[in-house]
Structure 1
Amino acid sequence: MDRPNFDRLVKDGLPAVTPVIHVLDVGQALRNIDTVEGAGCPGAFLINHDFPMEDFLPVLREVRAARTDLWLGVNFLAQTGGVGFPVLGQLAQEGCRIDAYWADDARIDEREEAQAEAEQIARIRAQSGWGGLYLGGVAFKKQRPVNPEDHAEAARKALLYMDVVCTSGIATGQEADLTKIENFRAALGDAPLALASGITPENAHLYAPLVDIFLVATGINFDGDFHNIDPARLNALLEVTRNARKGAHP
């Protein structure tokens, strides 16, 4: 665990809100980042839903050059850390700092004792020279289904291979089953847990005592707009998290 990196996100026992920006271009990304920073969020994630990873890299370079102090995470859509870490290492060598990588699939198999794919990704990460925070998707949307009775085992196995275990509901914009999050929390103990779908100002109070980081997009965007954050909804979500302490689940 890169504790100083993680502590920048989570302070005073409150869950961190790191909005996810579905990037169209540099200007749109920066406008949304201004909204995120203006609301007082500790950072943001950028994701390339609309174009390939190769076209995303120039955008990342320009965003970092324009916002040198921003805590910035990325998701390379549909790419594991095995693909992402070498790219992040190259960006770092160029002076383009990326603080966190979120992969939808950390390649954890709760059915197996040995985690060959996760081990390989860990080796690639070490060899890449990239030193940021790794959030790995476990029992995550659009990946191989995991039986609910195996959620706790998946979470426990994941602990060895990432800094923050990240899970979700069944689809983008779909809230996670609360029992699933409770089971992840119990399995992880004090280790960090991130939730990455279906969070809204209306339901965040259910998850805030259990989760360390909220990765949220559609729940705070303007209605019918996949790409732009509504400042009013973001502020409403932050107000919920400010009133909820982790570990204080009713």
Structure 2
Amino acid sequence: MNELTNDMTQETAPAASWRALFSTPKPVLAMLHLGGEDQAERLSRARRETAVLVDGGVDAVIVENYFGDVDDVRRVLDALSNGAVPPVIGLNVLRDTERAFALADEFPVAFVQIDSVAGHLAPDDDAEYAERLAERRAASRALVFGGVRFKYQPVNSGRPEAEDLALGAQRSDAIVVTGDGTGVETALSKIERFREALGPSYPLIVGAGVTDENAAAQLLHADAAIVGSFFKDSYRDTGVVDADHVARFMTAVARVRSGL
């Protein structure tokens, strides 16, 4: 491993920030995809789904413009901020990191998820990107959960995976690992590689494809899971959050926690 990777085997500031944010081991971060036919339906569904998720015991809710737009994100953040606030609110504004940080500064957002923080840009573009991201992180109270080799993201760095992970860890407070697509199980071998490269204390999140059946194996080397599709009535991103699916998943996670 290179020098950057070796440094991550020691206790990290991100690990301390993680513990301050999540007191429960193996937290579950639920994704709000903002589905619906119009603005009113997207907002009402987000409210209902958040209530189901919070009642089911999830540790955080991530608001994402997966189906909606940034205006929908703003309305949902406003509603969550003035209603029954989830334990932790996260935010992912796809394709617009600047807007994500602006909204995180305006609302009680604990973390911003960015689908790729290293590896997706050619070297000539990466330095400028890293400088701007560092500026936004320094000016924001929100943590950054960053993807490396993330689903649907290109790999243009020309660097080995471990080097991109080392840079990603410098640019984030946690790394998110996924397989090839939404709802697709993340390969255990990939999770294991990421854990080895990041070291034992750096926060690692499995960001796709976690189910009640694979939760124990997926969380063996990871610190948390982002769950979207499994919570839906159809087990697809287009579905609606189902209380029974939430209960099944959280029961599986409770068994994982009890074995720690």
The answer, yes or no, to whether TM exceeds 0.5 is yes
Match of 2:218 in 1: 207
Structure 1 residues 31 and 224: CA distance shift in structure 2, 3 A: same
SS at match of 2:116: coil
User: What's the counterpart of residue 144 of structure 1?
Assistant: 154
**Alignment-derived partner of residue 125 in structure 1:** 137
Give the counterpart of 1:194 among 201, 205, 218: 205
Where do 5+ consecutive residues of structure 2 fail to align? Answer: 1-12, 36-41
Conserved 8 A contact 1:209-1:247: no
Q: CA deviation at 1:111?
A: 8.2
Bigger drift between 218-227 and 183-192 goes to: 218-227
Distance 1:187 1:201, change over 3 A: same
For 1:108 and 1:77, the matched residues in 2 are separated by 17
Q: What is the aligned counterpart of 1:84 among 92, 100, 106?
A: 100
Q: Could you tell me how far apart the structure 1 residues matched to 2:258 and 2:151 are? A: 24
197, 219, 241: which one aligns with 2:230: 219
2:62 equivalent in structure 1? 45
Deviations 1:42-100 (A, max 9, x none): 22111112232134212211221112464111111223x344213322x1xxxx21111
TM-score scaled by length of structure 1? 0.83
Letter in 1 for 2:81: R
- Is residue 9–residue 16 contact of structure 1 (8 Å, CA) maintained in 2? no
Q: How high is the TM-score relative to the length of structure 2?
A: 0.80
Native 8 Å contact 2:32 2:62 kept in 1: yes
C-alpha distance after superposition, 1:143-201 (max 9, x if no partner): 01489x93333222211111011121111111111111001011111100011111111
Aligned-pair Cα RMSD in Å = 2.9
Q: State which drifts further: 199-208 or 45-54.
A: 45-54
Q: Counterparts of 1:169 and 1:142 in 2: how far apart (Å)?
A: 9
Alignment of 1:66 with 2:104, yes or no, is: no
Q: Which moved more, 1:193-202 or 1:151-160?
A: 151-160
CA contact (8 A) 1:44 1:73 kept: yes
Identity of aligned residues (%): 24
Asked if the contact 1:110–1:153 (Cα under 8 Å) also holds between the matched residues in 2, the reply is no
Contact 2:91/2:100, CA 8 A, preserved across alignment: no
Question: Is the contact made by 2:34 and 2:64 (CA closer than 8 Å) also made in structure 1?
Answer: yes
Cα pair distance change 1:218/1:109, threshold 3 Å? closer
Mapped to 1, the partners of 2:123 and 2:156 lie a distance apart of 13
Query: Conserved in 1, the CA contact under 8 Å of 2:186 and 2:208?
Result: yes
**1:146/1:106 CA distance change after superposition, 3 Å:** same
8 Å CA contact retained: 2:28, 2:227? yes
Q: Which residue matches 1:182?
A: 192
Which residue does the alignment assign to 1:173?
A: 183
- CA–CA distance in 1 between the matches of 2:64 and 2:152? 16
Question: Which of 230, 242, 246 is 1:230 aligned to?
Answer: 242
